[in-house]
Structure 1
Amino acid sequence: MARVQVERDEVERPIVAQLQAMGWNHVPGADVGELTADAPFLKDVLARALRRVNRRATDGEPWMDESDIGRAVAELAAVPSGQDVGKANLAATELLLSGLRLNGPSAAHGGSSATVQYVEWHEERRERNEFTVVDQLRVRNRSDKVSVLDVVLFVNGIPLAVIECKSPDLADPIRSAVLDLRHYAGSPLPDDEREGSGLPLPSGVPELFRTVQLMVAATAESAYLGTITSGPEHYHPWRSVEPEDPATLAAELPADTGRLNERHKLVGVVLRPAALLTVVRHYIVPLPAQTDAGGVRTVKIVARHQQYRAAEKAVRRLLTGKARGGPVLEDERGGLIWHTQGSGKSLTMAFLVRRMHLHHRLSEFTVVVVTDRTQLQEQLARTLRLSESEVETAETAAQMEGLLRDGGRRVVFAMIQKYGAGGFTFAAEGDGDGDDRDLAAEYEDAERARRERRAAKLPPVPNFPECNPSSDVLVLVDEAHRSHTKLLHAALRKALPNAAKIGFTGTPIMTGKAEDTRRIFSGGSGRDFLDVYRMADAEYDRVVVRIRYEGRTGEGRVFDKDGLDRNFEDLIRDRTPEERRELLNRWPTERDVAESAPMIRAKAEDMLEHWVTTVLSGGGFKAQIAAVSRKAAVAYHHALRAARDALMVELAAFRPEKVAGVPLEELARRERYLFQAYQYRALLRRIDFVPVISPGEERKRHEWLHWTDPARQAAYIERFHQAFPTYPPETEWAATTPFHASAPRPQTQAGAGHNPWSQQGAKGPAAEPDPVHPDSPVAFLIVKSMLLTGFDAPREQALYLDRPIRDAELLQAVARVNRPMPGKEIGYVVDYYGVFDHLSSALADYEDADVDDTMRSMAEEVGGLAPAAEAVSAYLARLGIADGDLTDFTAVRSAALAFGEETVRQDFDEVLGSFLTVLERVLPHEAGLEYVGRARRWALLQKRIRTLHRDAPGGSFTLRLYGRKVRAMIADHLEGPEIDQVIAPVSLSSAQFDEKVRTMPAREAAAEMGHALRFHLEERVKREDPEKYARLSERLEEILRELPGRFEEQIAAFGPLMDEARKQDEQDPRLAGLSPLEQRLYRLLDQEIAERSGIDVGQADLREVTGAVCGTAATIMAQAAYQGQHQDLAELADKIRMELFKARLRPAAGADLTGLRELAERLAAYAEENRAAFLAWSRGE
């Protein structure tokens, strides 16, 4: 069965049927007709809805006449058409949510102006809306091309959601669907594998997508949710049914459905009519996102299933629970939400507040957010502003009292800086220790003091006075697991006696405190959590990446002098006996050893090697060090600089040509380290390692002010979030030159460099230049306790622990490395203190299952390699393929014929993917190197299978699904010229296709021709000539039915069919003689000019323009200085604009240069997206 038919039967039609069962009105696309870009709405439906929704406040009667309706529709259709679709979508969203200010409405309104609502958002009046689903909707764009959208959901005739359906037979159906959605929206992704393939791509209809809030990529068993700005990595599945009833969903599906799959859940929960409006109004927010170039762009995000589920549960509890008063002794409207670190708790809070403050029964609540860390407060404040509620921060007790007394619709932050014997201290009243103090320890000290006072019969310390007795108060306590929560509850109970309380925690609750904590937040009932989302859930959803820890300290901690020789053995094995004796004499205690110069130097060298070989080479990510003290943090700064400088000297003498051609896994460890570091020497020479510590008592002595100044810290952290820049190739002399900010540091002893253990420092942050060069990328942040909680840094992949840490702080610290980012498959926690050697002690107060969710050893990953590899071998053996059969390219080509069934290919992808995923996590560990050879052979087989069957987007093979470290090991083996000689081109239109096929044995040639024909017909002919597609497809299937196993006859029959299929490419005389790249650029030029009214083609020859643009773009992008950065693209656009002028393109009468400038920018962006194709064109390839 053709894939298009599978899509319709197994995906599209079941979705439409489920939507109908939920109350959507189904109208086939054929009945709708063809929508246009000018007004891509169901106009009759929209007109009816505008009358129904907009009513007079006095008597509830409709007031809009035909003129009012026409103006409202025109305003929605005219949402900034000159902007890109992302900005236009934001503007349209604001119009939909807030309404249109209409001056001079009809007399029936009775006023001088009115607010027109396009959708009835009020929960008690949603029956006024009309919900329509259209399948196979045809939309004609401004270039007169038609796109056919699988499923479009209209609310009141306005498109709010689009579903793209894909056959489950594709290798990656969800990604294929996302790529098509981005094309339809007019914002194709730059890494779309189909670009440059010569295949037709979906035509953009961005005008329809200006109002689209949700985009769904669907296949048979799963569906993923995104927005107008989402790339494939941002789409996410919907695994929850709550707050809906599973029985309700099941009743809306065919009786033989069986279990609910992910597609059923997404459609049944998110796209349910009432829920869709709730999601659009409350659970989609714009966020600033940093680009790799350091800029900022606005993206739209939609809540994940656990965020929606938790917020909706909380709202339901607030609405149905009993407030304190009368017979109700404790408030029953709260609860405890346990969502693991990195799962988006701050956004969950923002969604909850937004939902409350737009709910007619909860809109006047005062929300009090309590936290105890500056970083958490700043992060939460930024996020909660998305709720569009007033946000205030109380920095003193007096401010807090005043804000609580005022009450009203607002969010109030209480940042508790410290707890002492006198009670809570707020941010502006603290002593400046900031985030480097241990609040739990302070609480325990205060409790001891309290017990002593009670023993001495001293009067108790008074807590907060009563501030607000209203029950319209919700207290959100962040990190509710902390040991001071019980006391905080008592203080808030007095200040806000009738408030509801919801606690958030990202870590499990200690077994001894679990009952107390749940009772505090659950009205004394000790009920279970309001919502739970564990680390295992987050890993499964890819909300976070896996965390794996590795010990690098032997036995770890130092308990006595005699044990020093034994401890840290892997770090000091090269030290002389004299050096070891010196260590014993000078650093007798555990902290002394951790702060000692030789130990920090040894650890710094080891950290740098681990970072270069595992983190930098694995994706260009960054690292954090948790040091035992502020003093050690500063010491690490200098030790890492010294280790880097020594590495640069060693690299100057390294000759990579001596190991050229040697597989990386066969090199000795030091050679492998130097070979990998050599590739990054330009970056290594420039990076810096920056302490971020809170000021303590040493500030009175003016010490370490460089590292404690808040303004500089903020700048360092901002640079840490930025991607590493790309540098031009290094000259040989540059490789030895370190990149420092100031003059050489004073020498304290030969070869030691600056003495980081000196107690001297700057007299003020402005007294000396910044010690970090302004152009130095920040690769490491070095902390004691700051940034170990609430610090969200997706670029951080490694945490190096060199301090004692336990309980919740340990669970939170390791989660710093679990934030996802493209290319980041795992987070590393490397233990230099022995914390994980005593994990059962450090986490003794937690359930084992909860700890296992969060912490797993790297040894587990290593142990998983052998069974994963054996699974691949066993699967191939069942197909009659042994590893010995894959030793040469011809044998690989023959083995690929065993994968004719789509299910067989999918199973192989799955079992090989599991192996390569484990290998990616283990590399560059020594244990993984022995498996690299097998990975090469199996990946080559997969490439042959993928290209033969054209399963991937564009029909080609890509290494995109492999991890970066695996790609580095096997890429050369998969992309050499000898490989290309035995693998035919994907495209039937390629001039080399026939030549390659002629060299193949008959069975292989027949398979290649048949698959190429089917792919060509489905991907090209089907879109442009449906009648021809049906006729040739039937002939292809007829040949395969009538000539099974008769390969020579199949080849003979395929020949005329291929000739007829290829004629499609010769029908446009304008493209005759142009290369494939020139043909694509010509079509783009033609389309862009047609869409821009401000350009006059006049006497210009578009063929001439096409050649000029190709030549200019290829010349500029071939220059060594061109890096594809913003400034490079701006220069390229200027050059292209000059070529457009030379080719006699001009502004239209009455227009300015805007149209030509935008055209040049679009062409420059296209050239950058297809840089490889342009460079190949310049070489005549």
Structure 2
Amino acid sequence: MSKLTESAIEALAIQLLEQLGYSHIHAPDISPDGDRPERTRYDQVLLTGRLHEALQRINPGMGSAILQAALKEVERIHSPDLLTSNEAFHRLLTEGVKVSTQQDGSERGGIVWLVDFDNPGHNEFIVANQFTVIENNQAKRPDLVLFVNGLPLAVIELKNAADENASLQYAFRQLETYKRSIPSLFTYNALLVISDGLEAKAGSLSADFSRFMTWKIPDDVGANNHLPQQRIELETLINGMLNPKTLLDLVRHFVVFEKTRKEDPHSGVISIQTVKKIAAYHQYYAVNAAVASTLRAADAGAAFRAMQDPAGYGLPGVAQQLKGDKKAGVVWHTQGSGKSLSMVFYTGKIVLALDNPTVVVITDRNDLDDQLFDTFAACKQLLRQEPRQVENRQQLKELLRVTSGGVIFTTIQKFQPDEGNVYETLSDRHNIVVIADEAHRTQYGFSAKTVDDKNAQGAVTGKKVVYGFAKYLRDALPNATYLGFTGTPIEKTDVNTPAVFGHYVDIYDIAQAVEDGATVRIFYESRLAKVALSEEGRKLIQALDDELDQGELTDTQKAKAKWTQMEALIGSERRIRNIAQDIVSHFEARQEVFAGKGMIVCMSHRIAADLYTEIVKLRPQWHSDDLNRGVIKVVVTAASSDGPVMAKHHTTKQQRKILAERMKDNRDELKLVIVRDMWLTGFDAPGMHTLYIDKPMRGHNLMQAIARVNRVHGDKPGGLVVDYLGIASDLKEALAFYSDAGGKGDPALMQEVTFSTCLFFYRLIFDVDADSLSNE
């Protein structure tokens, strides 16, 4: 058996790339002092001769002056910040170079394309090994550089798996060194790859090591998952991700530069932070499958030059749906696996697929609408337009009557008719796509129910029939195509979701997400308060859960006797005091082992406020009246009728944004938040590692809540759900439903572990250094 060496791994990678249509060049041969020089200097990273030839080939009819101007535009990209330069190049690469020149006294111009995305075979793909770059008096030589039309779009760093001193992390650190030493090469970079010949991961220019992901190839047609075929990861990544067709599709449709606005609370200085993100394999396959299903459902025809063929697999349900049925299907991707970003990628691609479409993104809660809108707004370059967030029904009607397309955000409640059971038709266009987040919820159904009809004073005057919002959506947009996204599966007894959206178009479950490192495991720990719940209390919880499943309770419902009884039972003074003492000691002990953040979920605003009071009695230094200071905060909205205690915890939309940024910033002193409903779905704070539950929850609501702690963050080993109410049976019921729906993997490991056991394993992990771990 031949010895595994770095040169052997390099040779294997080159061979695999050649089989995909790449030409191999030994980089020293084309260096400034090589046998066939194509570079005049060692700091020149573009193969300008090949780029100029490609511009002529893929831009026929463009004059030489215009092509030369485009080439100069690419060469002159330079910013003190590498990511800024990279973003500027990405825009030229995906949108074309807009140039104009003076010829014969008149201005001439056009858009020059650097790559022919529609016809991958019209481009030149090269793999160059040992490509030396000298910059700032430092010479570096990455193992492999992939050029497309002379542009260095990918860098591959290889290490020897048999070398105990080499590892994937070492390869990553090597790339970090290259970025600092020879930044010009990475100005034109689309993606980075690290491999030891067995394992292989890819990431973006700004990704840390934990965000480098493996690539997998889907099973044969008919499979409902993305499990890899039996082959080494490097071969899978090269064949699946770096083949010319997929590489160009990824570059054009699956890269975002996500921008976040940061304001220093002390100086008031505002900065914009940018993170480059590339789709993981499950996002790539799901989006392409969803776009293809949308075109089928909208009966848009087969001609779509902007989209590559979807992956070679499909789910029987959606594949059997009729052409033109307006049901694009449901994408079930487990919470924490990047569902919101998948929706961005889908929208960016579908706007090119249909004739100037209007995309309507719908949620059923204002805070979810805000969170999702912020994600889309942060990625507007890919969308090629500014998304709009609807403030009221009148604005919704005005925007939907506009035929010039757009990306519109609204809550589904805005489709409730003012009178009667018919919502007026707002547009009968066929190129409208409705995307529903958490599409499994009952609010999206067609079913009718009878409710009290009340006058302005709240007195019941009779009965009326109301329908699920799906009916009103269809009334308003009768020819729209509907696509659902969900983080939890559809129940077998749910007839509404398939009726509105159709069947599954893609599934990415917990088992796959944990295996891929897209999420971390969640552990369950029971710490029942000393005041246990009676059987009567359990029955009250069951009745209350049934109402919670239908949405947030109204003020009138809150006044019902069972709510009052349950709230008094759970929120007794003694019980809250005991829970406060336990949370403080428990959270402080966790912080000693692994610094992170926590969320406490309470049944009511009153309990949330009282719990805060008890906690700050124990730790006065945690309190601050300043929104930008303090270790603990209550995140709620309060009405004037709630009284002065709740009023001091009331937050506006803008204030909640500030608190959200503080929770996401691991350097900020804010470590604990107390919520009732806010932030239980859609909120993404990767550093959050502990969720304390003291609220009756079941089914989808429970599964979404516990996912707040499953995000990947640095060396975070897992998330912990702490139960103060005895939700174990509800969690088991949710797990059974999850398995029945076809999902694999447990949302939370159903084992009641003591905190000392958790500490033991955490210490075991962190007492071992990284090099020792890599040698296991």
TM-score range, shorter chain: 0.7 to 0.9
SS of residue matched to 1:613: helix
Give the corresponding residue for 1:238: 215
Once the 2 structures are TM-superposed, how far is the Cα of residue 604 of structure 1 from its aligned partner? 0.5
Would the alpha carbon gap of residues 115 and 106 (structure 1) be closer, same or farther in structure 2, given more than 3 Å must change?
A: farther
Q: 1:267, 1:562 → 2: CA distance?
A: 58
Partner of 1:51: 56
Counterpart CA distance in 2 for 1:291 and 1:177 is 32
Flag the 1:562–1:384 CA change in 2: closer, same or farther, 3 A. closer
- TM-score (structure 2 length as normaliser): 0.80
C-alpha change, 1:409 and 1:265, in structure 2 (3 Å) is farther
Unaligned 5+ runs, structure 1: 56-60, 187-203, 247-256, 426-459, 564-586, 649-685, 726-776, 863-921, 944-951, 963-1181
Q: Tell me which residue corresponds to 1:1145.
A: none
Structure 1 segment 289-688 matched on structure 2, within 5 A: 297-321=273-297, 323=299, 331=325, 334-357=328-351, 359=352, 361-385=353-377, 386=379, 387-417=383-413, 423=416, 461-486=420-445, 487-513=468-494, 515-522=495-502, 527=503, 529-553=504-528, 558-559=533-534, 589-614=565-590, 616-645=591-620, 687-688=630-631
Residues 960 and 719 of structure 1: CA distance in aligned 2, closer, same or farther (over 3 Å): farther
In 2, the alpha carbon distance for the partners of 1:646 and 1:286 equals: 39
Q: Structure 1 residues 155, 168: closer, same or farther in 2, change over 3 A?
A: same
SS at match of 1:74: helix
> How far is 1:344 from its partner?
1.1
Q: Indicate yes or no: 2:664 matched with 1:783.
A: no
Once the two structures are TM-superposed, the CA of residue 588 in structure 1 deviates from its matched residue by 11
TM alignment of 1:877-956, pairs within 5 A: 925-926=756-757, 929=760
Structure 2: 5+ residue stretches without partners = 33-38, 266-270, 302-320, 446-467, 539-562, 624-628
AA matched with 1:47: H
The aligned runs of 1:159-198 (5 Å cut-off) are: 159-171=152-164, 173-186=167-180
SS of corresponding position for 1:14: helix
User: Is the Cα contact below 8 Å between 1:401 and 1:467 reproduced in 2?
Assistant: yes
Matched, 1:91 2:88: yes
- Matched-pair contact (CA < 8 Å) for 2:606–2:646: no
C-alpha change, 1:19 and 1:424, in structure 2 (3 Å) is: farther
Alpha carbons of structure 1 residues 390 and 595: separation in structure 2 relative to 1, 3 Å? same
Decide which structure has greater strand share.
2
Judged with a 3 Å threshold, the aligned counterparts in structure 2 of structure 1 residues 242 and 50 are, in CA distance, closer, same or farther, namely farther
Q: Is the 8 A contact 2:524 2:721 kept in 1?
A: yes
User: What residue identity is the alignment partner of 1:210?
Assistant: T
Question: Contact 1:835–1:842 at 8 Å: present in 2 too?
Answer: no
Change in 2 beyond 3 A, CA 1:556/1:394: same
2:718 paired residue among 826, 830, 840: 826
Using a 3 Å threshold, how does the CA distance of structure 1 residues 275 and 926 change in structure 2: closer, same or farther? closer
Aligned mates of 2:732, 2:530 — CA distance in 1: 15
Query: Which digits, 9 at most, give the CA deviation of each residue in 1:256-296, with x for residues without a partner?
Result: x9833332232122211122121111111112369999975
Instruction: Answer whether contact 1:620 1:724 (CA < 8 A) is retained.
Output: no
Task: Note if 1:7 corresponds to 2:6.
Answer: yes
The answer as to 2:638 corresponding to 1:695 is yes
Preserved contact between residue 244 and residue 269 of structure 1 (Cα < 8 Å): no
1:856 to 738, 749, 757: 749
Partner Cα separation in structure 1 for residue 183 and residue 81 of structure 2: 9
Cα drift, residue 928 of structure 1: 6.1
Cα shift at 1:704: 1.9
> Which residue pairs with 2:454 in the alignment?
none
Which residue does 1:679 correspond to in 2?
Answer: none
Aligned to 1:1142: none
SS of equivalent residue, structure 1 residue 792 = coil
Residue 425 of structure 2 contacts residue 475 of structure 2 at CA under 8 Å; is this kept in 1?
yes
Q: Tell me what 2:449 maps to.
A: none
* 3-state DSSP of counterpart to 1:12: helix
- SS for the counterpart of 1:824 is coil
2:144–2:155 CA contact under 8 A, matched in 1: yes
Q: Work out the CA distance in 2 between the residues paired with 1:471 and 1:646.
A: 59
The match for 1:282 among 244, 249, 253 is: 253
Q: Is the 8 A contact 1:324 1:331 kept in 2?
A: no
Which of 223, 231, 253 pairs up with 1:260? Answer: 231
1:617-655 residue CA offsets vs partner (Å, 9 max, x unmatched): 23321111111111000001111011224999xxxxxxx
Q: 1:39, 1:77 within 8 Å by CA — same for their partners in 2?
A: no
Would you say the 8 A contact 1:166–1:177 is kept in 2? yes
Q: Using CA pairs below 8 Å that are at least 6 residues apart, which structure has the higher relative contact order? A: 2
1:771-824, Cα deviation, whole Å (9 max, x unpaired): xxxxxx322111111111111111221111111111111111111111121131
1:100-158 deviations in whole A, cap 9, x for unaligned? 34332667x9853333332233x2x4443222221222223341x43222111111111
Q: How big is the alpha-carbon RMSD for the aligned residues of Structure 1 and Structure 2?
A: 3.7
Provide the rounded CA distance (Å) in 1 between the counterparts of 2:676 and 2:775: 37
* Aligned counterpart, 1:898: none
Contact 1:240-1:309 at 8 Å conserved across structures: no
Query: Does the Cα contact within 8 Å between 2:216 and 2:240 map onto a contact in 1?
Result: no
Aligned to 1:721: 664
Q: What's the CA shift for 1:607?
A: 0.6
8 A Cα contact 1:627 1:784, kept in partner:
yes
**Match of 1:715, SS?**
helix
The answer to whether 1:223 aligns with 2:200 is yes
Aligned residue number for residue 21 of structure 2: 23
Go from structure 1 to structure 2 and tell me whether the alpha carbon gap of 1:296 and 1:68 turns closer, same or farther (over 3 Å shift): closer
Q: Cα–Cα, structure 1 residues 322 and 406, in superposed 2: closer, same or farther, change >3 Å? A: closer
Cα distance in structure 1, aligned partners of 2:574 and 2:689: 26
Percent identity over paired residues: 30
Q: How does 1:1133-1144 map to 2 (within 5 A)?
A: none
Checking the alignment, whether the CA contact within 8 Å between 1:473 and 1:500 is kept in structure 2 is yes
Aligned counterpart, 2:240:
269
Matched-pair contact (CA < 8 Å) for 1:356–1:363: no
* Superposed counterparts of 1:962-981, under 5 Å: none
Counterparts in 2 of 1:611 and 1:147: CA distance versus 1, 3 Å: same
Q: Equivalents in 1 of 2:760, 2:13: separation in Å?
A: 46
Contact kept in structure 1, 2:329 and 2:483, CA below 8 Å = yes
Q: Which amino acid aligns with 1:475?
A: V
Residue type of the alignment partner of 2:636: I
Largest Rg, 1 or 2:
1
Contact 2:438 2:486 in 1 (8 A): yes
Alpha-carbon offset, residue 222 of structure 1: 2.5
One-letter amino acid of the counterpart of residue 98, structure 1:
E
1:74 aligns with 2:72: yes
1:110–1:149 Cα change, 3 Å: farther
CA distance in 1, matches of 2:735, 2:420: 33
Aligned length, in residue pairs: 684
The 3-state SS of whatever aligns with 1:95 is helix
CA separation in 2, counterparts of 1:519 and 1:312? 23
> 80, 101, 104: which is aligned to 2:101?
104
Quick one: structure 1 residues 14 and 828, their matched pair in 2 at CA, closer, same or farther if it must change by over 3 Å? same
Which letter does structure 1 place at the counterpart of 2:679?
A: L
SS of 1:348's equivalent? helix
Contact 1:556 1:833 in 2 (8 A): no
SS in 2 for 1:224: strand
CA gap 1:313/1:164 in 2 versus in 1, 3 angstroms = same
